[in-house]
Amino acid sequence: MVTTRKQRKSVRHHPYDPNQSDIVNMSETSAGDEVKQEKDKAQILAEGFKLYKISLRDPESKRILWSTKEDITKSKEEFKVTLTKDVYDRTNDLLMEIVFSSAEPMENFNLKKRILFKNKCLEEWFLEFGEVKEKSAYTWQVVLSSSPNVTNMPFEALSGLTTIETKFFDQDVEFHSGTMKIFYEEISSE
């Protein structure tokens, strides 16, 4: 963030001598105003943003492997996700689908996703959607390809110790962040 300083001259009057005054130089920073405007913008964006659904799909068949059932942007708590082993078996490529709406326009809607194992970053994605129109809804699909850091680990080791951290931005203004703790389960053959 760039801090700009404005020079301003102020005249200070002595209360006991009406004929005397001093000229005092004062520095005034506008960085505080910029931070406040950024926070205000982030709050406005967050209030007008609704995340209807996040789904993980098989990129070939488009079959839904997992999907949210609620708007996870309205909670500050960690969201717990249980995935079946077949989702893990497809971690080389997954189609992520996000259905969202925004009451406010955005110049460059983008996400930063990080996969953390025991709080150590295994993988990071920067995903850029672009312009979002005021009072509009969108479906965004993107293929996520996992690195060997993730695919070479047994799913039993990842279960409960893996967190996906997602941050939502308009340009560089973060207006929401959330975490999902991932648990894997075997598919029973009953």
pLDDT in tens, 27-69: 444 566 666 576 799 999 999 999 998 888 888 888 888 888 7
Please report the domains of the chain, with CATH numbers, ordered by start residue: 37-185 (2.70.50.40)
Note the pLDDT of residue 80.
84
Please tell me the distance from the alpha carbon of residue 163 to that of residue 143, in angstroms, as a whole number.
Answer: 19
Note the pLDDT of residue 31.
61
Please tell me the distance from the alpha carbon of residue 168 to that of residue 177, in angstroms, as a whole number.
Answer: 6
Q: Please give the average per-residue pLDDT across 14-27, as a whole number.
A: 48
Q: In which band, very low, low, confident or very high, does the pLDDT at 146 lie, cut at 50, 70 and 90?
A: confident
Please tell me the distance from the alpha carbon of residue 99 to that of residue 121, in angstroms, as a whole number.
Answer: 26
Q: Coil, strand or helix: which one is 154?
A: coil
Note the pLDDT of residue 153.
76
Which of 185 and 120 is assigned the larger pLDDT?
A: 120
Q: What percent of the chain has pLDDT over 90?
A: 35
Question: Among 1-5, 30-34, 96-100, 113-117, which is the least confidently predicted range?
Answer: 1-5
Q: Model confidence over 101-111: pLDDT tens digits?
A: 999 999 999 99
Q: Dmax of the chain from CA atoms?
A: 97
- Please answer whether residues 155 and 85 qualify as being in contact, where contact means their C-beta atoms are separated by less than 8 angstroms: yes
* pTM for this entry: 0.72
Distances (CA, A) of 134 to 4, 16, 41, 96: 31, 58, 14, 24
